[in-house]
A and B are shown apart, each in its own frame.
Chain A
């Protein structure tokens, strides 16, 4: 159906009015400046269409924080590894060092008076001879008669073995 074949003048007039008003409506929305703006946007899109897609940082603040977070994480890992290494070496050294050196180092903290009144208090800062003397004294005390007398009482009591 062609427009020129339209016989109804009322309909033809209405269609002409419709077309004219439709064009005027669009022209009211899109003046010359809007058309120019649209043209520039189209050309911009066309120019960008052939280029590879950009990778946008998300979000901006995280980008600056990420290296710092990485560094701190690395430092924490390094510190943990160093601490473990130092602990292992120290532990090995404690076993390797001679007993005297260990005693010399820890003795001041162990210098507590023994609560029992029977045993002679031995100074904590002891040499090897003093240790031997202490062990001798204990041996004598255990094998002495007074101690054997007390053994009967010991057998009557409930055996307590500390864990």
Chain B
């Protein structure tokens, strides 16, 4: 995320992201943009609640993976949504709103991460909470053996992901947690699709190495 063009999706994105059918979020966003353009901000705010409801949980998943703190993730998601509403006139209907929003969310998370790092220079670091509750392992893992195995994998991958360089971690998070395609990640982060693939390849290679060592 070299540039700070938070809300300007940029012209090349049209070539990167090819959408055949607009997502539900894109439809609502287009509607909100029209309401704002007509000056009906009350109705726009009302519709914005529906837009938040559609994207909220996914946004929290991405922000939390990046910030590893529920309060920070909460704030980052709020900042991103408020920024979206304030700049909704700049949204281009021919692009995916999800990608545009993801770009804003990533920047909001990075901003909060920087702010937190600035604060922590003057505060003693809190002890790492490596012990994650077993309840966080998916409920599908029924047997205790599988739960243990899943937890072990979780801890291995989490540690490995945390040690990835920033760009690789960003690409990996968007790819694996938010399940974005390289083209969408490229549009959201401003990187080229080839760069995204390289970062993702390197991230997976490191993770494979970590898992191979511990297997």
Please give the residue numbers on chain A whose beta carbons come within 8 Å of chain B beta carbons, in ascending order: 1-3, 6, 8, 10-11, 13-15, 17-30, 35, 38-39, 41-43, 45-47, 49-50
Contacts and interface: CB of A to CB of B under 8 A. Distances in A.
Nearest to A13: B153
A20 to B, nearest CB: 4
16 contacts: A3-B176, A6-B204, A8-B208, A10-B211, A11-B204, A13-B153, A17-B138, A21-B137, A24-B135, A26-B64, A30-B60, A42-B48, A42-B78, A45-B78, A46-B48, A46-B85
Contacts of B64: 22, 25-26, 29
A89 to B, nearest CB: 66
Interface string B34-46: 0000000100010
Nearest to A18: B157
A50 B40 CA distance: 13
A9 to B, nearest CB: 11
Contacts of A10: 208, 211-212, 215
B61 interface: yes
A35 to B, nearest CB: 6
A2 B61 contact: no
B78 A41 contact: yes
Contacts of B52: 39, 42-43
Contacts of B212: 10
Contacts of B192: none
Contacts of B157: 14-15, 17-18
Contact of A1 (B48, B56, B177, B201): B201
B200 interface: yes
B186 interface: no
B71 to A, nearest CB: 9
Interface string B9-22: 00000000000000
Interface residues of B, number: 52
7 interchain residue pairs of minimum CB distance: A20-B138, A18-B157, A29-B70, A21-B154, A17-B153, A42-B81, A25-B136
B82 A46 contact: yes
Interface in B39-72: 41, 45, 48-49, 52-53, 56-57, 60-61, 64-65, 70
Given A35-B56, A45-B78, 8 more contacts: A8-B208, A11-B208, A11-B211, A18-B153, A18-B154, A26-B61, A29-B70, A49-B82
Given A42-B52, A45-B82, A47-B45, A14 B153 contact: yes
A19 B181 CA distance: 15
A65 to B, nearest CB: 36
B188 to A, nearest CB: 16
Contacts of B140: 20
Contacts of A2: 181-182
B56 A14 contact: no
